[in-house]
Amino acid sequence: MTRSLARLSGRCRVASALGAGVLAASLALAGCSSSSPKGGGTIPPLNTAGASAASTTAPAASGGASSKGSAAPTTLDAQKLTDESIGYYVDFVPQRLDTTQTQAALGYLAYDRATWEAYRDLDGDLSAVEASTTGAALENYRKTYREAQESGGREVGTSRVTVMSVEIQSDSEAAVDVCSDQTQIKQVSESGKDITQPDWRHTHSYLVSVKLTDGAWKVASLEKKGTDIC
């Protein structure tokens, strides 16, 4: 929960620039882009002759499994990626992604869920976060997670995310455009007192750098694009 930048993509408190090249590429999205209608989400079956299962299904390496929850999903299906038991909702994912785009999107969603669960439980278990985050993003997350533990403030409520588009930058890097709905999240102290900061409960738009690291797509950095614009 970066105080000055709200809470990066829901939970991550890391904000590092992706670079002008990534931003320019994200603005030039074509076939991999999709708007996010309210209430939508699950990708329908593809009926075009050139479509294949790879557009919505990825190998298991798309994300790391962890001790929290079930093994990382391999199908980009908003309904299946949603887990009501922990208040985590994937509202929309793009259609007709290729295999690499699907892997990158699943890598981001593994991170998004892991960071939500970590701040929700605040039990010291960062195995799922470590499996889905890399580099400075991971180090900064560990630091701010410790601060959250020291303050005793954990998150409750409902986290929602929309994946707007996925743009492949190279064989090992992708830019994922997301909207994080944090309007139904609050932070409570150990005594149950609401200690939510005023700038947290908004929708936030992020451009996320996801990199292929040790055989898995992991979040490397995030850049905030705006608040209440998605």
Give a yes or no: residue 86 inside a domain. yes
Q: Which two tokens stand for residue 170?
A: 């190279």
| Span 142-166, pLDDT tens digits | 998 998 899 888 999 999 999 999 9
Please check whether residue 12 lies inside any domain of the structure: no
- Name the residue with higher pLDDT: 30 or 116: 116
State the CATH number of the domain containing residue 94: 3.10.450.50
Q: What is the pLDDT of residues 97-139, one digit of tens each?
A: 999 999 999 999 999 999 999 999 999 999 999 999 999 889 9
Tokens representing residue 214 in the block: 């040790």
Residue 75 pLDDT class (50, 70, 90 cuts): confident
For 106, the domain range is: 20-43+54-64+73-227
The residue-averaged pLDDT of 9-22 equals: 37
Note whether residue 14 is domain-resident.
Answer: no
What pTM did the predictor assign? 0.73
Residue 2 inside a domain? The answer is no
* C-alpha dist (Å) from residue 126 to 53, 114, 122, 210: 32, 8, 9, 19
- How far from 118 is each of 4, 9, 186, 213, CA to CA, in Å? 21, 14, 14, 21
Total number of domains constituting the chain: 1
Question: Positive or negative, the Cα torsion across 184, 189, 193, 197?
Answer: negative
pLDDT digits (tens, 9 = 90+) for 80-103: 999 999 999 999 999 999 999 999
Give domain status of residue 48, yes or no: no
Residue 216 lies in a domain: yes
Query: Which pLDDT band, with edges at 50, 70 and 90, does 70 fall under?
Result: very low
37 in a structural domain: yes
Is the residue at 10 inside a domain? no
